[in-house]
C-alpha cells in the first residue's frame, strides 16, 4: 500500500496522479513482455492457398481508420496470385507494415507533400511479391541494417518496444520467403515481401536456391523507389 500520511489537498491529488501514471506504465510494460514471450514461443504456421490481393485488402480494411488522410495507390497484377501461407500471421505482418508506414509519414509531417502509400502486387520468377512504398521520414543508412533486430526502434515510446519488424521477419522466414527493406532518410521506405507461389512449391532445393538468387538480383536497389 502507498503511504500518503502528511500529504494534504493538492499534494495528495498530484501524488495519486503520479501513482496512476506509474501503474499505467507498469501495465503497458507487462503487456509488452507478454507479447514478447508469446512471440518467443514456437508458433505454428497453418498454410493454405491464399490470394495476395485479398490479404492486402483485408489488412487495409483493418487499418482503414489509421490510414485516413493517406493517398493510397494500388498497382495490382491483373491475375490471381496464390501463395502458400498462414492467413492470420500474414495479415498481422501487413498491418504492422502499414502502421509503420503511417507513423513514418506522420513523423515527416513537415514535408509539404501529402502522405502517399503505394502498394504493388506482382509475380516474378514464380515468386509472388508485395511492395509497400511510403514517402515518410525514411531510415538513415546507419540504422538500416538494424531494423529487424529485437527492441530496435527509431520511435521509442512506452508502448513501442521495437518488436514489430522482428515479428514480420520471423513470420516471413517461417514461410520460406524473404522480406527486404530499402530506405533513404528524408525520402521514404520500401518494404518488399516475397512468397512462394503455387508453381514452385514442389521444386527441389537446388532450383529453389536458383530462383531465390535470381529474384534477389532483380529486386529494387537499396535506394527507395520514388512515389508518383
Query: What is the b/e burial string over 60-93, where b = at least 16 CB atoms within 10 angstroms of the residue's CB?
Result: bebbeeebeebeeeeeeeeeebbbbbbeebbbbb
**Sign of torsion over alpha carbons 61, 67, 69, 72:** negative
CB of 127 closer than 8 Å to CB of 215:
yes
Q: Which helix (H) or strand (E) holds 128?
A: strand 127-134
Q: Averaged over 5-31, what is the pLDDT?
A: 72
Instruction: Please state the pTM of the whole predicted model.
Output: 0.68
pLDDT, one tens digit per residue, over 148-191 is 666 556 564 444 444 568 888 889 988 999 999 998 888 899 99
- Which one, of 193, 89, 108, lies nearest residue 155 by Cα? 108
List 120's β-bridge partners, or say none.
75, 131
pLDDT of 6: 57
Helices 164-174 and 10-40: angle between axes, nearest 10 degrees: 10
- Tell the residue number behind the cell numbers 514461410, with chain if given: 175
Q: What is the pLDDT of residues 6-16, one digit of tens each?
A: 556 677 677 77
Q: Tell me the pLDDT tens digit for each residue of 192-223.
A: 999 998 765 544 344 445 444 554 554 444 44
Q: How many angstroms separate the CA atoms of 139 and 143, rounded?
A: 6
Say if residue 33's pLDDT is above 70. Answer: no
Amino acid at each position: 500500500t502507498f503511504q500518503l500520511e502528511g500529504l494534504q489537498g493538492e499534494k495528495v491529488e498530484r501524488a495519486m496522479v503520479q501513482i496512476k501514471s506509474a501503474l499505467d506504465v507498469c501495465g503497458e510494460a507487462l503487456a509488452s513482455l507478454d507479447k514478447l514471450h508469446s512471440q518467443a514461443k514456437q508458433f505454428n504456421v497453418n498454410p493454405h492457398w491464399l490470394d495476395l490481393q485479398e490479404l492486402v485488402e483485408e489488412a487495409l480494411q483493418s487499418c482503414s481508420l489509421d490510414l485516413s488522410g493517406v493517398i493510397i495507390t494500388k498497382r495490382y497484377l491483373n491475375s490471381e496470385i496464390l501463395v502458400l501461407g498462414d492467413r492470420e500471421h500474414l495479415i498481422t505482418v501487413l498491418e504492422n507494415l502499414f502502421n509503420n508506414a503511417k507513423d513514418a509519414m506522420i513523423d515527416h509531417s513537415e514535408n509539404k507533400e501529402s502522405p502517399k502509400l503505394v502498394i504493388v502486387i506482382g509475380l516474378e520468377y514464380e515468386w509472388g511479391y508485395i511492395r509497400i512504398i511510403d514517402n515518410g521520414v525514411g531510415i538513415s543508412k546507419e540504422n538500416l541494417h538494424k531494423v529487424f533486430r529485437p527492441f530496435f526502434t527509431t520511435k521509442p515510446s512506452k508502448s513501442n518496444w521495437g518488436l514489430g519488424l522482428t515479428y514480420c521477419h520471423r513470420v516471413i522466414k517461417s514461410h520460406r520467403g524473404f522480406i527486404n527493406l530499402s530506405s533513404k532518410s528524408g525520402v521514404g521506405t520500401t518494404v518488399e515481401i516475397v512468397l512462394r507461389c503455387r508453381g514452385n512449391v514442389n521444386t527441389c532445393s537446388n532450383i529453389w536456391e536458383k530462383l531465390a538468387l535470381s529474384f534477389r538480383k532483380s529486386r529494387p536497389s537499396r535506394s527507395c523507389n520514388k512515389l508518383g
